[in-house]
A and B are shown apart, each in its own frame.
Chain A
Amino acid sequence: MDAVERANQERAKKWTKEAKIGEGTYAVVYRGREAATGAPVAIKKIKVGQFKDGLDMSAVREVQYLRELSHPNVIKLLDVYSSKANLNLVLEFLDSDLEAVIKDRSNVFLPADIKSWMAMTLRGLEFCHRNWILHRDLKPNNLLIGANGELKLADFGLARDCADPGSKLTSQVITRWYRPPELLFGARFYSSAVDIWSVGCIFAELMLRTPYLPGESDMDQLKTIFRALGTPSEEDWPGHTSLPNYVTLDHFPKSPLKLLFTAASADALDLLGKLLIYEPLRRISAKDALHHPYFFALPYPTHPSKLPKTTVPMAPRELQEEANGLGDRTVTKPGRSLKRKASDGGGPERVARSAARRLEF
């Protein structure tokens, strides 16, 4: 037997699967344990054999970024091994997620609790951005919560690096309700600011206990945003009218956030406003957000172990129609010319919509 295959089997033996906790067409998730210690883990088995292009892009992304990232607020990829034609990702086991906690009506959130979740989310995100990685699917459902109350960013199936400012990206990312206006207008060059908008939506949801901007279609999403925050003027967001999918929409007036978020402190509203600035370049960064006075004012964030939890067991995650199974591909066409492209990633990205379904975990 080859050394590589032997090493793989050694790794596989370190983990045992106990029960299936979720299934999709692309992956099955098991609750499992580390054989030596009995410590609980989650094992995500990705069916590889069925893809005609081999290892699936979202699996590749998840593995490649989680392999590099190590931070208390980012889910840990403990191991990777293969079994037959399947890829097994051994992940830290976390029993709940922020969506379940928000939905549990028996929970009462104190302002300090919200501050704690926000701090953990932004710390994890700042770390990703510092490593030039965009998450591109932040939502309460992807913020997992451990038994000790710690929050961790999970599901990196849509993540990608953003170190090269010239590369064209797909605008078909981020679950609609958390998607920023520049993506809804079809922007193909964007930055870490897209994740920040999602964090703004999550912040608002934590205060409202219901999704803040629940649009019913992409078009309706823009309307929902503008109804809540006012239609942007050229001054608010220079150049937005020249984005690829720009459409003129009804003019909604701006109204102060205070009207809806009646219980929020002035600091909280100021941070929320900065997370939801229309112009991506002026939207606050994760790092600056962590230095915002909100985090230094009383009440201080609740210790993770004292945060509200949910007793409702985490339901197997629903399967979502993935907007872009292939994500941002630059489909390269063969040709006779031996000329190289001028820069990395300068090619056109084809946004391919695929029917591939993805298991959210």
Chain B
Amino acid sequence: MVTAIPSAVPNDAFSASPSHSPYEASTQHKHWRYSRTALDEQRASLNSAAVHVIRNAFEIDDPGSSNAISFLSPADEYLLVKLYISKVGQLCAHFHMPEVVEATACSYIRRFYLRNTVMDWHPKNVMLTAIFLASKTTNHPIPLEQYASHIPNTTPSDVLDLEFLVAQSLGFEFVVWHAHRALWGIYLDTQTLPDISFHTIHDAYIASVAHVRASRLSDAELIYTPSQIALACFHIAAPVLAEQWAKAKGESDVISLLPAISDMILQEGKPPDLERVREIDKRLKICKNPEKVVGTKAYLKKQAEEEAKAKEKREKKAAEIRALEDARDPFGGELDPEGAAKIERAKQLDEDDD
């Protein structure tokens, strides 16, 4: 298998565990790899679960009302998400954020919608939060006020409200291995091959960078490794050079894998048709989850449920402390240090999660 960052990782770094590259120990390799079928199934099941929930919520608001609604299909959802992924670059450039922020934010959005549906959370807001979070996780943080003030109709709390949800949906797995880093490694590596002019290599690299950017609009990163994607992009730009590199690395086998990846990048790697997305967004305005829309009956019902639950918890805790106090020696702490300590412990316990 091709390692993730070819030149950045010297071979002897593997000596301690020859069978595993650092990439293979990453959360990306362990938790964010799918087959095409598994990916499609995941999106389909998320979508049907969401439709089921929202249908019920509509029925609560107004019985019979859900029949007339045209819910989004998994393909609709994906197109909408893809549109917003395609906008990340523009926004990051506005803030002069380096490419790693852009690439990380794109991965966050893509991963977020493997756990959530656009009918609950609109990708526009998720995109803004994903970029903000990515700027922190890649060590290029920007003050929130400044960030929000440069985006029309956006307040700091719009960005912050979703931060926790996004972090949670990512499983707090913030590190993303990127194809553009792997490509940089290939670029450096090829410069050590004999008899190739630097110009040839550099031109190939520049052309490949465009393909890597396009690959972010495809599902490639959920199916292939960053180094495989990078090599596929390099192969589109300069097939002979790419094969020479693979041979020099003793990785010629990987070449047979490349056409499938290249096809995916060339076919999927462009922004979706705006008219189609506009139509989807129009339907989304009607079929979004009413539990998330402030003021609807479904929203109020959910709020009331949550408040009741929290109240019950608080009362339970107060009752526990009272019971302990009653059980305690009435002549006070010094004579009954054990009882006092018990009460102290109960009071200290974290009210967030009893």
Interface size on B, residues (CB 8 A): 58
Shortest A53–chain B CB gap in Å is: 5
Interface of B is mostly: helix
Q: B353 at interface (Cβ–Cβ under 8 A)?
A: yes
Q: A48 at interface (Cβ–Cβ under 8 A)?
A: yes
Check B142 against A332 for contact (C-beta < 8 Å). Answer: yes
- Chain A residue numbers with a CB within 8 Å of B173 are 64, 67
Instruction: Given A17-B353, A345-B139, decide whether A64 and B174 contact each other with a Cβ distance below 8 A.
Output: yes
- Chain A residue numbers with a CB within 8 Å of B169 are 4
Check A54 against B132 for contact (C-beta < 8 Å). Answer: yes
Q: Which residue of A lies closest to B161 (CB)?
A: A54
Check B146 against A334 for contact (C-beta < 8 Å). Answer: yes
Q: Which of the 9-residue segments A82-90, A202-210, A251-259, A261-269 touches chain B? A: A82-90
Q: Which of the 9-residue segments A55-63, A139-147, A232-240, A306-314 touches chain B? A: A55-63
Complex: A52 Cα to B142 Cα, angstroms: 12
Shortest A199–chain B CB gap in Å is: 18
Complex: A30 Cα to B351 Cα, angstroms: 13
- Chain B residue numbers with a CB within 8 Å of A65 are 175
Complex: A52 Cα to B156 Cα, angstroms: 9
Complex: A60 Cα to B27 Cα, angstroms: 15
Assign chain A's interface to a size class.
35 or more
- Chain A residue numbers with a CB within 8 Å of B146 are 334
Instruction: Given A54-B163, A333-B96, decide whether A45 and B172 contact each other with a Cβ distance below 8 A.
Output: no
Complex: A131 Cα to B163 Cα, angstroms: 27
Q: A174 at interface (Cβ–Cβ under 8 A)?
A: no
Check A332 against B140 for contact (C-beta < 8 Å). Answer: yes
Check B96 against A340 for contact (C-beta < 8 Å). Answer: yes
Q: A19 at interface (Cβ–Cβ under 8 A)?
A: yes
Check A60 against B136 for contact (C-beta < 8 Å). Answer: yes
Q: A341 at interface (Cβ–Cβ under 8 A)?
A: yes
Instruction: Given A4-B169, A53-B141, A163-B8, decide whether A332 and B164 contact each other with a Cβ distance below 8 A.
Output: no
Check A2 against B140 for contact (C-beta < 8 Å). Answer: no
Q: B68 at interface (Cβ–Cβ under 8 A)?
A: no
**In-complex Cβ contact of A57 among B25, B115, B136, B159 (8 A):** B136
Q: A321 at interface (Cβ–Cβ under 8 A)?
A: no
A-facing residues in B143-191 (Cβ within 8 Å): 143-146, 150, 156, 159-160, 163-165, 167-169, 171-175, 181
Complex: A52 Cα to B8 Cα, angstroms: 37
Q: B64 at interface (Cβ–Cβ under 8 A)?
A: no
Q: B5 at interface (Cβ–Cβ under 8 A)?
A: yes
- Chain B residue numbers with a CB within 8 Å of A88 are 353
Complex: A82 Cα to B171 Cα, angstroms: 11
- Chain B residue numbers with a CB within 8 Å of A68 are 25-27, 175
Complex: A131 Cα to B352 Cα, angstroms: 35
A-facing residues in B109-132 (Cβ within 8 Å): 115-116, 120, 132
Check B160 against A54 for contact (C-beta < 8 Å). Answer: yes
Complex: A126 Cα to B14 Cα, angstroms: 12
Check B144 against A345 for contact (C-beta < 8 Å). Answer: no
**In-complex Cβ contact of A67 among B5, B145, B175 (8 A):** B175
Q: A103 at interface (Cβ–Cβ under 8 A)?
A: no
Complex: A13 Cα to B99 Cα, angstroms: 39
- Chain B residue numbers with a CB within 8 Å of A343 are 98
- Chain A residue numbers with a CB within 8 Å of B132 are 54
Q: Which residue of A lies closest to B89 (CB)?
A: A340
Complex: A345 Cα to B181 Cα, angstroms: 13
- Chain B residue numbers with a CB within 8 Å of A167 are 139
Q: B94 at interface (Cβ–Cβ under 8 A)?
A: yes
A-facing residues in B318-354 (Cβ within 8 Å): 345, 348-350, 352-353
Check A334 against B136 for contact (C-beta < 8 Å). Answer: no
Q: A137 at interface (Cβ–Cβ under 8 A)?
A: no
Complex: A98 Cα to B159 Cα, angstroms: 42
Q: B137 at interface (Cβ–Cβ under 8 A)?
A: yes
Closest 3 CB pairs of A and B: A83-B352, A64-B174, A80-B172
13 further contact pairs, Cβ within 8 A, besides A60-B136, A84-B352? A3-B115, A53-B144, A57-B141, A63-B174, A67-B172, A68-B27, A82-B168, A329-B140, A329-B141, A330-B140, A332-B96, A332-B142, A333-B96
A-B contact pairs, 25 of them (CB 8 A): A2-B120, A4-B165, A4-B169, A5-B168, A17-B350, A18-B345, A20-B348, A28-B350, A53-B141, A53-B143, A55-B164, A55-B167, A68-B25, A82-B168, A126-B16, A326-B141, A329-B139, A330-B139, A334-B95, A334-B146, A341-B96, A344-B100, A345-B140, A347-B96, A347-B140
